[in-house]
Structure 1
Amino acid sequence: MPTEQPKPLPFIANFTAGAIAGVSEILTFYPLDVVKTRMQLETGKAKHGMVGSLTSIIREEGIGRLYRGLVPPLLLEAPKRAVKFASNDFWGKTFLGMSGESKMTQQLSILTGCSAGATESFVVVPFELVKIKLQDKTSTFAGPVDVVKHIVRKEGILGLYGGMEATFWRHLWWNGGYFGCIFQVRSLMKKADTPQGQLFNNFVSGSVGGFVGTALNTPFDVVKSRIQGATKAPGTVPKYNWTYPALLTIMREEGPTALYKGFVPKVLRLAPGGGVLLLVVEFTLGVFRKALGPPYI
């Protein structure tokens, strides 16, 4: 009897694995995201480093402030991470078919990651905008619903897509670095002989990918935070409007290092966070493979 050809896991498996991984990561690392946003919204010379910002928030506003704005990211994380890994799977298969390659290459891996990031950005923007508004130190909003009502009343439904262009670039560069590095690091590491070794390899490659992705996308994240955190005045052009001109404005006024404000808490979150993401995704996909059995791979 002929052996059945191996088949990739169905979309729902990739979707579910990405969702579970995203929620796991954000519940573990969210306070670092609050600190990162505060540092990025601070114009001029930075008054505090990461530890100073963290202790200042706790001392002046209470420890609960480190979880302010958690609801939008939690609501977002499942669809966001699910879209990230499902679209990475989709674009990977698409580009493999178009290129005629039999297996993934470094170049295809980067192209796939960038395309997945661009896809993901369209899902992310409204949730990110609400989160930034709540994380701002000067925020007086009662909660996520209050933010949404305020934006829609002032700017219409399209106002929820403020910062779309900056978010597009942020996610394109992060995903390109993340998935491209995962491919490269995995190819350099010794193939694991045990499930524990495989989990270790996934954590290491995901962490390296998270670090490189963060190094690439932090300037775009700073711009995104400034655009989304600004209060719009009718009839005036915002100081931070389009991504690349905003990068030049920040560099000219505050120096090149300002483009990396919030880098330390961001990388402390997204380097191990990237490892946690990949570890949970691969573990969950393994559960699906075992449950579905052959011929799924």
Structure 2
Amino acid sequence: MDSFAAGGIAGVSEILVMYPLDVVKTRNQLFVGKSMGTIVSLRNIVKQEGVSRLYRGIILPICMEAPKRATKFAANDTWGQFYRKLFGVEKMTQSLSILTGATAGATESFVVVPFELVKIRLQDKNNTHLYLGTMDCLKKIIKQEGILALYNGLEATMMRHITWNSGYFGVIFLVKSRLKTKHELLNNFIAGTSGGCVGTMLNTPFDVVKSRIQNSPRTILPQKYNWSIPSLFIVAREEGFWALYKGFVPKVLRLGPGGGILLIVYTTLMEFFAKYK
């Protein structure tokens, strides 16, 4: 329960600081053609649509971040205990950290898919006139596409979270085992930031196709983007390999330091809960 609460608070802390970069990331991923830079995109959104547009759809991520991050860390702890017992290992190793992170990512996916889908629809500039807000978007998706449409992109979301979590927790284990500094907060920030950067490098292609799959209404047939692997080939063939890394800069700027913030808040709260008990 402690890891669930600490993960939830850590997730909300990160999203409040980093959300505008997520908006820019999604816009770049949905855009077919040459994307603008992060600073230019931020400036254009503010100039053309107002500052508030940088926070459009933030209600869903805030609602999502608590269960999402809570599930991430709680599942990582739980699966870690399971795998140590299964393989008869007393302490975590890097390979177990990668396996545990991947399994935790798959678990986390089932929680976040509906939130992610509504967030993607709200962040797309082309959908501005379609949805009045979060609840209006949710109601229209269910009414027009059916309630199962909320799980559109589940497979791609699982691929995104499996790759990110395995990279994130695997690198955290490696970096923390190598760091010699006695400053725990600095250790956690360096390890979390490094893990966030590596996780982002691994999962950005899956994030690109996930965004496109979830932004495709089920009422439009045939669907161009359905499953992650075929969609990867479609994007690479039509737009070039590097199109699979659209939105990488704002994403890594968010999830690099964001990964450090997550780990610092999580570990600090876990230490506080332990001391309080």
With the shorter chain as reference, the TM-score category is over 0.9
Q: What is the TM-score normalised by the length of structure 2?
A: 0.98
Query: Deviations 1:95-140 (Å, cap 9, x if unpaired)?
Result: 0000111100111000000000000000000000000011000122
Distance 2:143 2:155 in 1: 22
Distance 1:61 1:251 in 2: 31
Q: Does 1:240 align with 2:245?
A: no
Distance 1:191 1:105 in 2: 21
- SS class of match (1:230): coil
Query: Deviations 1:11-45 (Å, cap 9, x if unpaired)?
Result: x1101100110000000000000000000000123
Show the counterpart of 1:23: 12
Show the counterpart of 1:267: 252
Q: Pick one of 43, 53, 72 that aligns with 1:65.
A: 53
Contact 2:236 2:244 in 1 (8 A): yes
Let me know the Cα RMSD of the aligned residues: 0.9
Displacement after TM superposition at 1:148 (Å): 1.1
Show the counterpart of 2:3: 14
Q: Does 1:52 align with 2:7?
A: no
Q: Pick one of 171, 175, 178 that aligns with 2:161.
A: 171
Show the counterpart of 1:216: 202
Contact 2:144 2:219 in 1 (8 A): no
Q: Does 1:187 align with 2:177?
A: yes
Q: Which has the higher helix share?
A: 2
Show the counterpart of 2:22: 33
Contact 2:145 2:217 in 1 (8 A): no
Determine what percentage of the aligned residue pairs are the same residue: 59
Query: Deviations 1:214-246 (Å, cap 9, x if unpaired)?
Result: 000000000011111123445x22111110000
Deviating beyond 6 angstroms after TM superposition, the runs of 4 or more aligned structure 1 residues are none
Corresponding letter in the other structure for 2:193: S
Distance 2:146 2:79 in 1: 33
- SS class of match (2:125): coil
Q: Does 1:204 align with 2:190?
A: yes
Show the counterpart of 2:144: 154
Show the counterpart of 1:8: none
Q: Pick one of 228, 231, 245 that aligns with 2:217.
A: 231
Displacement after TM superposition at 1:191 (Å): 5.6
Corresponding letter in the other structure for 2:186: F
Distance 1:81 1:167 in 2: 15
Contact 2:172 2:194 in 1 (8 A): yes
Corresponding letter in the other structure for 1:39: N
The count of aligned residue pairs is 275
Query: Deviations 1:191-226 (Å, cap 9, x if unpaired)?
Result: 62xxxx001100100000000000000000000111
Distance 1:80 1:231 in 2: 24
Displacement after TM superposition at 1:53 (Å): 1.1
